[in-house]
Structure 1
């Protein structure tokens, strides 16, 4: 399981990371909120966020996570005891809140309870799925590794299955806010359609696309 850890206290960050790696978790750790913010779309199964960190705070990162991942567990770890801060964390979709100081065992228990979900493979149908861990699409036992932009587009489609995704949303997510022509978006869609070999991606005229699965 791949975990994103954001904790600006280097000693605590190292301690948590070492303990979780002993459990064979794949931990990607950050001490700066801006660095963590850039990586949240990279297929994590669990997020552990401190609130008061440099540049981008944990609440804003939590809000961004929930734009793309509705069900991936988020655990907040914070020294704040302010009711407004705790309420805000839950309002924006955290699954649990752990007040500092805490025993690492407490955090491990929460991770095992909330995050130990085998969700690396997301199925489109009985014979087709996307593997977040390896960034591959498997169609009828044929495996194809995706490029970075293809992977980001699949992440976006699968986080918003059966919902209309606008050209602007694709531009902001896949090209990370950089300007891109409509033709470049269409070219990426054509490549992904060819890889999938089935009519999952449907065009919504003058608006964008929808990834249609049951």
Structure 2
């Protein structure tokens, strides 16, 4: 797509010359305007650069610049002036002009300025798109769950988005602790600053201090140059300390100082480094018990545990199992270029009854494996890992009945509708009891009833 340059100058000779340069010599699209009012009316065409004369009839160049910046603060505006005044140049740059040229204009320098302005604007738009995509990825709408227990988690999370209270996320491995931490960051006021994740259990203990706080050149063997630690890199943003219970006592003391005084020193250094980061931690340990066993500092525990959030394991929110299975099926269909239509009833029953000790991560890996193995249109029992298909029909299915009586293949949406109808039938229409049977929140039951046209 060709770039569009707006030229704003009331002198026809200058306007025609600039249009000739832009359109005929530099091969950009060009539109010219004689007044600031005219160019403001056409900003919806989304130009890539505006060449703006300062001396205009009516709305002058500086006021036009301010209004352009109010429309799009990143749109590059190159100011043109016959005055050559330092004060005018300073005012232009103060109000957001990309560059400033005096007339007569140096053609080569202007061409270079336009090229650089376009590159800068393209990078800014790309960065904005990336940020928006990241925000959408970690929005609560994209965290797959219909279970009441997870809805309670989301309510808690919503309370801490726009403040800096320390959050400690408890949960078994694979429950999505980092996903919740990223959702807090990318939906909060620090969303435009870095999110840095550190797994305290995966980095060798002798290197973890340097990883977190950085080091000075020569501070230890192999330290050939200064390195910035994660607390410096994350300045203004969020640092996520996963498996924080694995920190050694020495590092716990240093982390406590960062929380209390917002400062630290690099390894081998004496300079005091100030930092402004939000700390979100996660653990699959019982940290209170670790405190009792003298394995974790009590003062640090209370600092990190200011706002605890507990993520239930998948086996305790069974209302999410089939919804997650459908989600991962679609995800890996797209990734692997397959067109698997769903699961047989027997396969779905086994998926539902399995305890999923590895939680959501285990399910994700399992569904990907099933799609790789499966050669039919549906994932069947034979495609499941042996430890899941030890029995064709294990006991304990909450809403057994018409759903899994044979191998008939049905669409997933129809399966959910049948589940709702069956649960309401066996509970004589009692919404509360039906929600308990399906392990879903009442709000979810009402929403699905409306969706499937089931009368209240």
TM-score (norm 1): 0.54
- Structure 1 68/34 Cα, relative in aligned 2: closer, same or farther at 3 Å? closer
Partner deviation per Cα, 1:151-204 (whole Å, 9 max, x = no partner): xxxxxxxxxxx99xxxxxxxxxxxxxxxxxxxxxxxxxxxxxxxxxxxxxxxxx
Residue pairs, 1:1-214, within 5 angstroms:
1-22=3-24, 23-116=26-119, 117-118=121-122, 123=129, 124-125=132-133
- Is the 1:51–1:76 Cα contact (8 Å) retained in structure 2? yes
Compute the displacement of 1:86 (Å). 1.5
Partners of 2:87 and 2:43 lie apart in 1 by 25
Alpha-carbon distance between aligned partners in 2 of 1:87 and 1:41, rounded to the nearest angstrom: 28
- Quick one: distance in 2 between partners of 1:84 and 1:19? 28
- Say if 2:36 and 2:56, in contact at 8 Å, map to a contact too: yes
Q: By how many angstroms is 1:18 displaced?
A: 1.4
Q: Any stretches of 5+ residues in structure 1 without a counterpart?
A: 129-161, 164-214
- Give the secondary structure class of the aligned counterpart of 1:89: helix
C-alpha deviation, 1:47, in angstroms: 1.0
Greater strand content: 1
Distance, in Å, in 2 between the alignment partners of 1:33 and 1:70 is: 17
Change (3 A) 1:37 1:68: closer
* In 2: Cα distance, 1:106 partner to 1:97 partner: 11
Normalized per residue, the structure richer in helix is: 2
Where 1:13 maps in the other structure, the secondary structure is: helix
State the SS of the aligned residue for 2:57: coil
CA distance in 1, matches of 2:55, 2:28: 25
Secondary structure of 1:115's match?
A: helix
Does the 8 A contact of 2:5 with 2:22 survive in 1? Answer: no
Which residue of the partner structure matches residue 206 of structure 1? none
Q: Which residue of 2 aligns with 1:170?
A: none
What RMSD over aligned residues (CA atoms) do the two structures have, in Å? Answer: 2.4
Instruction: Find runs of 4+ consecutive structure 1 residues off by over 6 angstroms.
Output: 119-122
Shift of 1:95: 1.2
SS class of match (1:125): helix
Aligned-pair distance for 1:74?
Answer: 1.0
Q: Distance in 1 between matches of 2:57 and 2:71?
A: 23
Measured in 2, the distance between the counterparts of 1:88 and 1:20 equals: 26
Q: Deviations along 1:60-82, whole A, 9 cap, x unmatched?
A: 11000111212221100101222
